[in-house]
């Protein structure tokens, strides 16, 4: 028996349900950038969930900043409840986006998480803005979550 098939795959219907559910929780950087570039970004708002320092240093254009530690009824009172909030943080190794998405969901907002965070965004060559623009590689701020 191969390692790959040691555990049998799910039946097609179960696999379809699983992957559809996964897509309900995640947004792909390629899809997001295509929407932003085409002007079809209605319906969602990018949210940087790390610290204010991280947001100032490097962020995805059009993103707003909501530190996951400070999300509450007061800090989110002006958010449009008709939008889906796509939370992002540093990378797959950071969980500030997960923490922010959880807080927003508990406050009654619809949310997704951006796969790979700003690190995956930059790795794909997509634009960033902020104090560190022009630097290569790391944003210059540790995870900051």
Domains in the chain (CATH in brackets) are 26-123 (3.40.250.10)
Catalytic option among 87, 89, 94, 145: 87
Q: How far apart are CA 83 and CA 77, in angstroms?
A: 13
87 is catalytic: yes
Are 144 and 58 a contacting pair, CB within 8 Å? Answer: no
Res 144 pLDDT > 70: no
Average pLDDT, the chain: 90
Q: Strand, helix or coil at 101?
A: helix
Q: How far apart are CA 28 and CA 21, in angstroms?
A: 14
Mean pLDDT over 37-64 rounds to 92
pLDDT classification of 40: cutoffs 50, 70, 90 = confident
């Amino acid at each position: 028996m191969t390692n790959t098939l040691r555990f049998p795959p799910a039946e097609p219907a179960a696999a379809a349900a699983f992957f559809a559910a996964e897509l309900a929780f995640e947004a792909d950087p390629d899809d997001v950038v295509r929407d932003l570039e085409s002007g079809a970004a209605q319906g969602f708002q990018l949210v940087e969930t790390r610290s204010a320092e991280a947001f100032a240093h490097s962020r995805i254009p059009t993103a707003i900043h909501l530190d996951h530690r400070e999300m509450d009824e007061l800090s989110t009172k002006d958010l449009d409840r008709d939008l889906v909030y796509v939370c992002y943080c540093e990378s797959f190794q950071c969980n500030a986006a997960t923490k922010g998405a959880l807080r927003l969901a508990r406050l009654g907002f619809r949310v997704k998480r951006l796969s790979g965070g700003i690190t995956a965004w930059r790795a794909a060559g997509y634009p960033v803005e902020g104090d560190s623009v022009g630097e290569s590689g790391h944003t210059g701020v540790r995870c900051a979550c």
